A and B are shown apart, each in its own frame.
Chain A
Amino acid sequence: MIAKPHFAFFDEGSKKEIRRATLKAVAIPGYQVPFASREMPIARGWGTGGLQLTLSLIGRNDVLKVIDQGADESVNAVSIKKLVQHTTGVSVTEKTQEADIIQSRHRIPEKALKEDQILVLQVPNPEPLRKVDAREYMTKRMHAEDDYSGAWLLLFEQIMKFGRMSTGASHPVYVNGRYVMTPSPIPRFDNPKMHQSKGLILLGAGREKKIFAVPPYTSVESLAFDDYPFTVESFEGKACKLCGSTDVFLDEIIDPDTGERTHQCNDTSYCMEQLNSEEKVEVENSYV
Chain B
Amino acid sequence: MYEKPILQVKHLQKQFGEGCPHCFDKESVYLEKNYCTVCGTVHAVRDVSFDLYPGEVLGIVGESGSGKSTMLQGLYFDSSMTSGAVYINQSELTGQNVLSLSSQQKRYIRNYIYGMVYQNPVDGLKMKFSSIGNIAEKMIAAGNRNVSNIEKRSKELLENVHIPLRRMKEEPQYFSGGMQQRVQIAKALSNNPPILFLDEVTTGLDLSVQASVLDLIKQIQRELHISMVVVSHDLAVIRMLADRSIVMLNGEVIENGLTDQILEDPQHEYTQQLVYSLL
Contact = CB atoms under 8 A, between A and B. Distances in A.
Interface of A: 145-147, 149-150, 152-153, 156-157, 159-161, 225-228
B22 interface: no
Interface string B141-174: 1000111111100000000000000000100000
Contacts of A226: 145-147
Interface string B237-263: 000000000000000000000000000
Given A149-B140, A153-B140, A227 B107 contact: no
A228 B140 CA distance: 14
B108 to A, nearest CB: 11
B147 A147 contact: no
Contact of A157 (B107, B129, B146, B148): B129
Question: Per DSSP, are chain B's interface residues mostly helix, strand or loop, or mixed?
Answer: helix
B137 interface: yes
B130 A160 contact: yes
B103 interface: yes
Contacts of B107: 145, 147
Given A147-B141, A160-B133, 14 more contacts: A152-B140, A152-B145, A153-B129, A153-B136, A153-B140, A156-B147, A161-B169, A225-B147, A226-B145, A226-B146, A226-B147, A227-B147, A227-B149, A228-B147
A153 B145 contact: no
B132 interface: yes
A150 B169 CA distance: 17
23 contacts: A145-B103, A145-B104, A146-B104, A149-B137, A149-B140, A149-B141, A152-B140, A153-B126, A153-B140, A156-B136, A156-B140, A157-B130, A160-B130, A160-B132, A160-B133, A160-B151, A161-B169, A225-B147, A226-B147, A227-B146, A227-B147, A227-B149, A228-B147
Contact of A159 (B103, B137, B147, B149): B147
Given A145-B104, A147-B141, A160-B169, A227 B148 contact: yes
A225 B133 contact: no
Nearest to B138: A149
Given A147-B107, A225-B146, A157 B141 contact: no
Contacts of A160: 130, 132-133, 151, 169
Nearest to B128: A131
Contacts of B130: 157, 160-161
Contacts of B146: 225-227
Contacts of A150: 137
A182 B130 CA distance: 23
A78 to B, nearest CB: 40
Contacts of A145: 103-104, 107
B262 to A, nearest CB: 40
Contacts of A161: 130, 169
A234 B34 CA distance: 66
Which 9 interchain pairs have the tightest Cβ spacing?
A: A149-B141, A226-B146, A149-B140, A152-B140, A157-B133, A225-B147, A153-B137, A226-B145, A156-B136
